[in-house]
A and B are shown apart, each in its own frame.
Chain A
Amino acid sequence: MVDFLQNWVYLTGAMALVGIGLYIVLTNTNIFRIIVGLNIIDSGTNLFIVTIAWHPKSVMPIYTATNNLVVNGHVISADPLPQSLVLTAIVIGLGTTALALAIAVKIYQKYGTLDVRKIKEGDR
């Protein structure tokens, strides 16, 4: 049971976040909520990336005086590569969010609303 939980709980969480975020993006018409949805998808992605690097007996991938990463020629640390990828993914998510918010501010100024439907009507 513990094994089952260890294997699945983070994956389920990551997928739940992605699903919730995608649902928000698809159904909402408010630009701000869409941005929040995108952020939730990003969190899900990041959680997923960290999850594939982790195993229950892993140690942190940093050499210290007490932390040995390799035992008998066998690496026991968490996988450091996805952890470096997640850093990239976080920064990219931050950049996209910043730009999306800037566009949202500008849209609010020009249209006086953040509702996608009203913006479309405004363009007609």
Chain B
Amino acid sequence: MKTYNLAALLVGVPLLMAFSIPLFGFISKQLAKWITVLTLGFEFFFGLYIFLWHIYPFNVIMGNWLPPFGENLYIGPFATVLIILISFVGLMISIYNLWSANHGDVVHFALLFLMFVGGSIGLVSTGDIFNIFIFMEITGISSFALAAYGPERRALGGAFKYLVVSSIGSTLYLFGVLLIYTQLGTLNIAEIAARISQTTSGLLTFAGILLVAGLAVEAELFPFNGWVPDTYTGAVNPVSATLSGIGSVGGVYVLFRILMTVFGKDGNFVSTYGNIDLMALVAILGSATVVIGELSALVQKNVKKMLAYSSMAQMGLVAIGFSIGSKMGSYAGVFQLVNHSIAKAMMFLILGIIVSFGIGEHIEDMKGLWYKSPFLTVTFTIGSLSLLGLPLFGGFWSKFALVDASIQRGGWYDFVIAIVLFASVVEAFYYLRIVGYMFTSKPTSTDKIKVSISPAVPIVAFSILIIAIGVFPQIVGGISWNAAHELTDKMGGYVLNVIPTIVGH
């Protein structure tokens, strides 16, 4: 077992800074926002250090109690890629917030934003099944408050709906965890994962359904995603970007950590223990999410709502990718998650700039944006093309891998190919419709939109990254492949790295 306890700072530093932000807030509001930027910068470079110096996979032991007796963080390839992704997106949005967050109580906004990102980092790295619940609540409570923030009153309804659905979801998750505890007497993910076949299958199946239902709320899977459109539309744009780019990442991570590592039965294609195959269940839910999300996005006239539904549909694609159960499928899932997170966060941020210049969110309002701001138009187009999967953009490789993985799986997963292609066609239709509006029609007024430096930095960084991934997919490809290996080989990829002596003599 490799340990690297210093990485506890990945969770410790955001907490320390979050507790101190109110004190900095006494000095200046701008300082509070800068603290967020600096802390997330630290997280990002720590993540890069773990990745580039190849320190992963390792354990972080809390309080010198080794797993399975105490709590630990396990940072394998999957956690590493997500830590880098989350801290990067968080860093970029915090730079954007330097410019955009001016309304109301900025100090507490900065604090909650920092803890949302810090909590998501804790969520993807923890190795304890109850600790996941706590980090879900940390991200949950901060996102309810963030979603309610803003000058518009529609934010409140969306935030309340999210709060209700999410608390019921986390209660279901807690029940699932406790049911497993009654039979195995432990809360450590690695020990539960190794011993999952020692439970009775009825209890296991029901606990699995409860866990899936609870986690599907955060992972935006049908039928637990009713909150998505209201919350995303109501929240201010940087918050929608955060929820879409970071919140759903954590949800999907936990869902498939539970399904593949804890419940998974190794084989060519991972399935789960219990009376029904939960991977197939999630595949069905994911397919339904894609179809419903894309069709709802198609009929929307409000661009923000369209992005919200599209976000839902993209999460469905991610879920389908993982639920294929092969290495290729998980690779597609991780890759798609990275692409979606970057592109969707960027598009929400762009929309935020557009709206701040008094242009509405309606699709007609996008007419002639090219004449007002070529920069925003081009970057929005890059994001759209990546999401619909055009070659030379990031999204192409993940959708390609998704189709490839479904072909390898065969059987009724051939149906998935049809869904992916259907999704791409529908996405092409509604995204290109907006892009078309932007380029073609001449606007009535040609007031130029002048984008200042702090919101421009994240947008430029995101678009460069999208094109870089499109041209050199190996940037993300290598570590995504390692992550896929970790997910599909549960003993070698996870359990033995945490508890090496789990098979005794």
**In the complex, are there CB atoms of A and B closer than 8 Å?**
yes
8 Å CB contact of B144 from A38, A103, A119, A122? A103
> What are 21 sample pairs from A and B whose C-beta atoms fall under 8 A apart?
A25-B164, A41-B167, A41-B171, A45-B171, A49-B178, A52-B178, A52-B181, A82-B181, A85-B178, A88-B130, A92-B134, A92-B137, A92-B141, A96-B144, A99-B144, A99-B163, A103-B144, A110-B153, A110-B156, A122-B153, A123-B154
Q: Is the interface of B mostly helix, strand, loop or mixed?
A: helix
CA distance A49 to B187 in the complex (A): 14
- A-B residue pairs, 8 tightest by C-beta: A110-B153, A107-B156, A92-B137, A123-B154, A103-B160, A52-B182, A119-B157, A96-B167
> From residue 63 to 85 of chain B, which have CB atoms closer than 8 A to chain A?
none
For the complex with contacts A49-B174, A88-B130, A99-B141, 14 further pairs of A-B residues with Cβ separation under 8 Å are: A25-B168, A41-B167, A81-B187, A82-B178, A85-B130, A95-B137, A96-B140, A100-B164, A103-B144, A107-B156, A107-B160, A111-B153, A116-B157, A123-B154
What residue of chain B has the Cβ atom nearest to residue A96's Cβ? B167
CB distance from B131 to the nearest CB of A (A): 10
CB distance from A5 to the nearest CB of B (A): 19
Instruction: Say yes or no: B141 contacts A96, CB within 8 Å.
Output: yes
Interface 1/0 per residue, A33-48 and B, CB below 8 Å: 0100010011001001
CA distance A119 to B154 in the complex (A): 9
Q: B175 near A: Cβ within 8 Å?
A: yes
Instruction: Report B-chain residues with C-beta under 8 Å of the C-beta of A92.
Output: 134, 137, 141
Provided the pairs A111-B153, A123-B154 are in contact, do residues A100 and B160 lie with their beta carbons within 8 angstroms? yes
Instruction: Say yes or no: A107 contacts B164, CB within 8 Å.
Output: no
> From residue 85 to 120 of chain A, which have CB atoms closer than 8 A to chain B?
85, 88-89, 92, 95-96, 99-100, 103-104, 106-107, 110-111, 116, 119-120
What residue of chain A has the Cβ atom nearest to residue B166's Cβ? A96
Instruction: Report B-chain residues with C-beta under 8 Å of the C-beta of A122.
Output: 153
Q: A31 near B: Cβ within 8 Å?
A: yes
Q: A22 near B: Cβ within 8 Å?
A: yes
Instruction: Say yes or no: A99 contacts B130, CB within 8 Å.
Output: no
Q: B18 near A: Cβ within 8 Å?
A: no
Instruction: Say yes or no: A103 contacts B182, CB within 8 Å.
Output: no
Q: B: which residues have CB within 8 A of A?
A: 130, 134, 137, 140-141, 144-145, 148, 153-154, 156-157, 159-160, 163-164, 167-168, 171, 174-175, 178, 181-182, 187
Instruction: Report A-chain residues with C-beta under 8 Å of the C-beta of B137.
Output: 92, 95-96
CA distance A34 to B157 in the complex (A): 13
CA distance A55 to B251 in the complex (A): 35
What residue of chain A has the Cβ atom nearest to residue B147's Cβ? A103
Instruction: Report B-chain residues with C-beta under 8 Å of the C-beta of A96.
Output: 137, 140-141, 144, 163, 167
CB distance from A61 to the nearest CB of B (A): 15
CB distance from B279 to the nearest CB of A (A): 27
What residue of chain B has the Cβ atom nearest to residue A38's Cβ? B167
CB distance from A32 to the nearest CB of B (A): 11
CA distance A111 to B130 in the complex (A): 38
Instruction: Report B-chain residues with C-beta under 8 Å of the C-beta of A111.
Output: 153
Instruction: Say yes or no: A103 contacts B163, CB within 8 Å.
Output: yes
Instruction: Say yes or no: B145 contacts A99, CB within 8 Å.
Output: yes
Instruction: Say yes or no: B141 contacts A95, CB within 8 Å.
Output: yes
8 Å CB contact of B148 from A31, A81, A106? A106
CB distance from A57 to the nearest CB of B (A): 18
Provided the pairs A25-B164, A34-B164, A38-B164 are in contact, do residues A103 and B148 lie with their beta carbons within 8 angstroms? yes
Provided the pairs A22-B168, A38-B167, A99-B145 are in contact, do residues A107 and B157 lie with their beta carbons within 8 angstroms? yes
CA distance A45 to B172 in the complex (A): 9
